Amino acid sequence: MKTIDELLHEGVEGKRVFVRADLNVPLEGTTITDDGRIRAVVPTVKALADAGARVVVASHLGRPKGAPDPAFSLAPAATRLGELLGAEVAFATDTVGDSAQATVAGLADGQVAVIENLRFNAGETSKDDAERGAFADALAALADLYVGDGFGAVHRKHASVFDLPARLPHAAGYLIATEVGVLKKLTDDVRRPYAVVLGGAKVSDKLGVIDHLLEKADRILIGGGMAYTFLKAQGHEVGISLLQEDQIPAVLGYLKRAEERGVEFVLPVDVLVSPEFPDLKTKAPSNPTTVAADAIPADQEGLDIGPETRKLYASKLADAGTVFWNGPMGVFEHPDYAEGTKAVAQALVESPAFTVVGGGDSAAAVRILGFDENAFGHISTGGGASLEYLEGKKLPGLVALED
């Protein structure tokens, strides 16, 4: 895989460089609530601009249905990128149309432009190779070189991720090089004990990674909404908690395999419950109660791990050599149910292990809860991509960057 440093050594001055970034940031209206993904691509964009390239940054945002939708415009991300670069960033109001062509044509050496949300064009996500290829052809006409640096999208076989690199000389940006290096430490060169913390809403989202990590991890800690399917599989009442009943056979199989392989599987011993899901807009107090994990009332919903579980999980992480964490322990967006996620983050901060926060809600949580990002070994920009890599899958965006 060619690196951006090799590309810079060959010279990029005066060349149009298409940077596939991941600017898929959370928005409240036009306000960015977490700019981590934008900050992550700044080193690549700055290095290219400083070397005299004419940089064309492209990304998706959200899930528009192949047509323009103002709610998913990249304009706020373009403004924030300019602030972080300390330079004006031009913005094209379409992807490959008149505005994009004119904006790119107007770039001088060292200048940067962002084109509008790639998913405003149906060709970006099409499953039809010809339709995707046609969009990739149009994107390729905007550039001379391609740099892949949108790690959060490399698991997608999309036009700008998979098809476009085949049409231009290409290299991996600094972010992708860093992410892949970290993931190799989680698969090929692991310091033990290797502890994995998995949370989030659905067991089904994590089946593949659990299956793969049962061959590699020493202990797996489960929290979040997915924990209640595990508790139900053990025969416990889970009330009105999140439950994927159809996944119980798979969960029982994993618990059995873990026992056979000597992998420690750790589930909550107590949880915070409430009869109603909390109001995440007003953050009004919801008066949760703490109950044993095997004694959830039938009319209550589990919304966070309890204080004894927090202590237990911290103890299981204290002596780890490597920790991978993906998924919050509860509804961390509400202060009544943030303590479990906060406790796991604090345990990672205090651990001597190589610690990796696996993107998505986990990455957002550590920022929202006020943790210093530098206190972790690595915070990934791609939750889904990280999980699929750890499942042993070939990621289309990485395959496309191979020579």
Active site residue 384: yes
Q: Within 10 A of 381 (CB to CB), how many other CB atoms are there?
A: 28
pLDDT band at residue 392 under the 50/70/90 scheme: confident
Active site residue 11: no
pLDDT at 187: 87
Average pLDDT over the chain, rounded to whole?
95
Active site residue 216: no
pLDDT band at residue 195 under the 50/70/90 scheme: very high
Name the active-site residue from 36, 150, 384, 397. 384
Name the active-site residue from 202, 257, 311, 367. 202
Of the candidates 144, 156, 196, 148, the residue with the CA atom closest to the CA atom of residue 15: 144
pLDDT tens digits for 340-385? 999 999 999 999 999 999 877 888 899 889 999 899 999 998 888 9
Of the candidates 230, 386, 378, 205, the residue with the CA atom closest to the CA atom of residue 293: 230
pLDDT tens digits for 86-107? 999 999 999 999 999 999 999 9
Question: Residue 151 to residues 90, 111, 214, 302, 395: CA-CA distances in angstroms?
Answer: 23, 23, 25, 33, 10
Name the active-site residue from 15, 16, 20, 37. 37
Above 90 in pLDDT, residue 207? no
pLDDT at 21: 98
Name the active-site residue from 360, 382, 383, 397. 360
Active site residue 235: no
